[in-house]
Chain A
């Protein structure tokens, strides 16, 4: 068993689609929170097989897309200080900051390297003891433990030249913020698969207890997603909201407690600014004082510049599901994957990039 191909079963998918068509009566809007879900829904043509009653909207689940412009600018300022080597996941490279991007800075000769994992960044720090390596920490609860682990490893290895700039975010506070945002209309959440691997189904319990909105944790294969959509439609039609787990092979009630332990050892919750949503209390993760020696925000002077948001860019409204990319005047006209204006067109899992590629 490969735990993936089995969930691309055409017969099973057809049966689930048939059931969705039988069950769904009311017009409903379901938000897939995760960017990887957005891409899988497009790639597998899932929208085209759903009844007209079901509208899927994409949420704030692409980490690069929700990173605030001020953080993107801070990354660029860190790259410019001349004494650092910036290590970053690739999808941050082309995100436009206020007048520049990491890719443009790299072209200007700044020392910026794309890495696949923080372990690669640690290796860079080990190989270049005279260079300060700064890893740009962007991601949700899935990624944050890996970055916390790198800080613990750096301490164990005795590295004095490894730093992290953290712009991490957590999903449950964002769900709550969406519920309280004017103009946001959601009947159910397709919850992210791998964030849930870490926080478990229980991680959403406080949110669910408060709002009683239908929720279903979903995997990434077509059968997984269809099954979760069916689950949400059934919950809505029977007026029986629940916090369901449609990805049990990967997600447990309690999640990965070891990963959370590592994350909590290094990070503590803080308020964080999200693109398109604003500051969400308790939704970010900052490095604890005990690990302050590894905190790039504390160890380097980062000039604060006047943030300029891209003019006319609707990424903010798109991230909250208020509009689709097709309603943005820049989409496919001046904003394209080759020359992106906003982050949702840059990242491979950004909503605009997915619409551009598949729609």
Chain B
């Protein structure tokens, strides 16, 4: 089962991070992802961070989506 809720990196020690998923804290391995820092949002699968979400581009694509539908007058 894919956990679709992104997790926030709370702290990092070596190759392991403490993550926060809607208030629940767990460990996640950073073996499959580079350049992670505290405060980043990541997708975690089976205890491993597999993707870092880019806030700026996520906001931009959401805004584009909203604009596309607003302009069409739907």
Contact surface of A with B, Cβ cutoff 8 Å: 1-4, 6-7, 12, 15-16, 18-19, 34-36, 39-40, 89, 91, 116-120, 139, 142-143, 145-146, 149, 152-153, 192-194, 197-198, 219-221, 223, 227, 248-250, 256, 258-259, 262, 347-349
**Whole-angstrom distance between the alpha carbons of A227 and B59 in the complex?**
16
**Among B32, B58, B74: residue with most chain A CB under 10 A:** B32
Residues of B within 8 A of A139 (CB): 46
A194's partner among B31, B32, B50, B53 (CB-CB below 8 A) is B50
Q: Are B4 and A193 in contact (CB under 8 A)?
A: yes
Q: Are B32 and A12 in contact (CB under 8 A)?
A: no
Asked if B45 is an interface residue, CB under 8 A from chain A, the answer is yes
Q: Are B5 and A116 in contact (CB under 8 A)?
A: no
Nearest CB in chain B: distance from A221 CB, A? 7
B74's partner among A18, A145, A194 (CB-CB below 8 A) is A18
Q: Are B29 and A149 in contact (CB under 8 A)?
A: yes
**Whole-angstrom distance between the alpha carbons of A106 and B22 in the complex?**
33
Q: Are B47 and A120 in contact (CB under 8 A)?
A: yes
**Whole-angstrom distance between the alpha carbons of A197 and B70 in the complex?**
29
Nearest CB in chain A: distance from B66 CB, A? 6
**Whole-angstrom distance between the alpha carbons of A149 and B34 in the complex?**
14
Q: Given contacts A12-B66, A249-B61, are A4 and B4 in contact (CB under 8 A)?
A: yes
* Secondary structure call for the B interface: mixed
**Among B27, B55, B66, B74: residue with most chain A CB under 10 A:** B74
B2's partner among A7, A194, A259 (CB-CB below 8 A) is A194
**Whole-angstrom distance between the alpha carbons of A194 and B43 in the complex?**
9
Residues of A within 8 A of B4 (CB): 4, 36, 40, 193, 219-221
CB under 8 Å from chain A, chain B span 34-74: 34, 41, 43, 45-48, 50-51, 53-55, 57-59, 61-62, 65-66, 69-70, 72, 74
Nearest CB in chain A: distance from B9 CB, A? 13
Give A142's nearest chain B residue, CB to CB.
B45
Q: Given contacts A12-B66, A12-B69, A220-B2, are A145 and B50 in contact (CB under 8 A)?
A: yes
Q: Interface readout for B18-34 with A: 1 if CB under 8 Å, 0 if not?
A: 00000000010101111
A36's partner among B2, B59, B61 (CB-CB below 8 A) is B2
Q: Are A142 and B69 in contact (CB under 8 A)?
A: no
Residues of A within 8 A of B69 (CB): 12, 15-16, 19
10 more A-B contacts (CB under 8 A) besides A3-B6, A194-B43? Answer: A2-B5, A12-B69, A34-B2, A116-B46, A119-B27, A142-B45, A145-B48, A248-B61, A249-B58, A259-B32
**Whole-angstrom distance between the alpha carbons of A119 and B74 in the complex?**
48
**Whole-angstrom distance between the alpha carbons of A349 and B2 in the complex?**
9
5 contacts between A and B (CB under 8 A): A15-B72, A39-B1, A146-B47, A194-B2, A258-B32
